[in-house]
Structure 1
Amino acid sequence: MSAQISSQLLNVACGLFLLTAVGVLWRRQVSALITLLTVQGVALAAIAVILAEQHRSAEAATIAIGVGLLKAVVIPWMLRRVHQQLPDARETRPLVNVSTSLLAAAGLTLLAYSAARPLVALAPTASAKATPVGIAVILIGFFLAATRQRAISQIIGLLLVDNGIAAVAFLATGGVPLIVELGVSVDLALAVLVLQILTSHLHTAFGPTDLDELRELHD
């Protein structure tokens, strides 16, 4: 694969990676959020595969396969199991409406590109120039977790943050040690498993898992 084609494919994968994060702010239905997270996992795996091909690294290729399985298969499958217990789950009362959320996403993306300018100046390669995409997804993930009311939506926000961190690690360094990435991803998979168990018990006992309604039970 030529360097030009590889660079173009990397830009496409990074564009899809960022677009899915913005799409998560646009949609409120939990099933749509899980679908977008799955597509983002595929885009992240594609970024890792392209970088592995560029560096001719077997270890990076192994990481890419592991990332693809965890981010695009295992974790979305676990989230869907949680969603099966709440089939009509939908964000009806987000703290910030959709229009404002999309404007915030644009602002956070500009902030990411501005903050990453010194890093890009140090190594003006195609992968380094795409690093702000990962930073933007991290910021969007934090924003999602802070403005959504349902626990599963907040977990998806944290998963966006983890995807963004992984993307920055891949793009800035050409890959991270396999044990580090897999360790973090397994921790998140366990967190989703705990969420599944807690959601099942809470839904059985109290019904909805909107955080405001759960606080009212405490009050």
Structure 2
Amino acid sequence: MNTGIYGQLLDLAAGIFLLAAVLTLWRRDLAAIVRIFAAQGMALAAIALLLGLHEHRWDLVAVAAGIAVLRVGVLPHLMRRALAAGAAAGGETRETQPLVNVAASLLTAAALTLLAYAAARPLVRLAPSPATRALPVGIAVVLIGFFTLVTRRRALSQVVGFLLLDNGITATAFLATSGVPLIVELGVSFDLLLAVLVLQILTTRMRVAFGGTDIDDLRELHD
């Protein structure tokens, strides 16, 4: 693949990847958040695919296909099922009262992105390439995912925050090391799928037992 075209496509995929993370902070409708997560999964698969094609590594192409199946198809499907079950039981389908409002969340995302670029600058200077220049995006999504995880109150929103965190770690590994071995990615993917299945079961049990999945309400019940 031509280096110039490769760099432009990689920048585009990384930009969509970061934009999807920011949009999860902007949107409150849980169904829309799930769709945005699926779009981010497609961008992550595109990053792996571009790396594989540029370096002629077919194992990375296989990893990209696995990422697309799991993070664009399977995981969003499981979250939609959990959301549909909650809506049928009369549960909330929106993140109504996050601990940090939308405007402050977007400003925080901008600050975290700047922090990621500042932290990654020495690595970019050490080995400048299209992949390492996109490395701050992976770090920024890790930070935004962690921020989402700790500031959202609905259980499904926190699941999305956890998955954003994992997507960011995966993208950072790809961009910093030109990919990870196929067996490692498969192991991580199966662990991630198991974690989401467990979280879906727990969310369903919480809804049946307490009538909702607001973490603050459950904490009040504990107190």
Which TM-score tier does this pair reach, normalised by the shorter chain? over 0.9
In the TM superposition, what is the alpha-carbon distance from 1:31 to its structure 2 partner? 0.7
Distance 1:125 1:84 in 2: 44
Distance 2:120 2:172 in 1: 11
Partner of 2:86: 86
Partner of 1:49: 49
User: Which residue type is aligned with residue 214 of structure 1?
Assistant: L
Determine if the alignment matches structure 1 residue 123 to structure 2 residue 127. Answer: yes
- Aligned residue pairs: how many? 219
In the TM superposition, what is the alpha-carbon distance from 1:205 to its structure 2 partner? 2.0
Distance 2:160 2:186 in 1: 18
Partner of 1:32: 32
**Other structure's SS at 1:85 match:** helix
In the TM superposition, what is the alpha-carbon distance from 1:91 to its structure 2 partner? 1.2
In the TM superposition, what is the alpha-carbon distance from 1:189 to its structure 2 partner? 1.1
TM-score, normalising length from structure 2?
A: 0.95
Mapping of residues 1-219 of structure 1, within 5 Å: 1-87=1-87, 88-219=92-223
In the TM superposition, what is the alpha-carbon distance from 1:89 to its structure 2 partner? 2.0
Q: Deviations over 1:145-186 (max 9, x none)?
A: 010011111111010011001101111111101121121121
Distance 2:207 2:70 in 1: 27
User: Which residue type is aligned with residue 49 of structure 1?
Assistant: L
Distance 2:81 2:25 in 1: 22
User: Which residue type is aligned with residue 33 of structure 1?
Assistant: I
Q: Is the 8 A contact 1:67 1:182 kept in 2?
A: no
**Other structure's SS at 1:176 match:** coil
**Other structure's SS at 2:180 match:** coil
**Other structure's SS at 1:67 match:** helix
Q: Is the 8 A contact 1:202 1:209 kept in 2?
A: yes
**Other structure's SS at 2:86 match:** coil
In structure 2, list runs of 5 or more residues that go unmatched: none
Q: CA RMSD in A?
A: 1.0
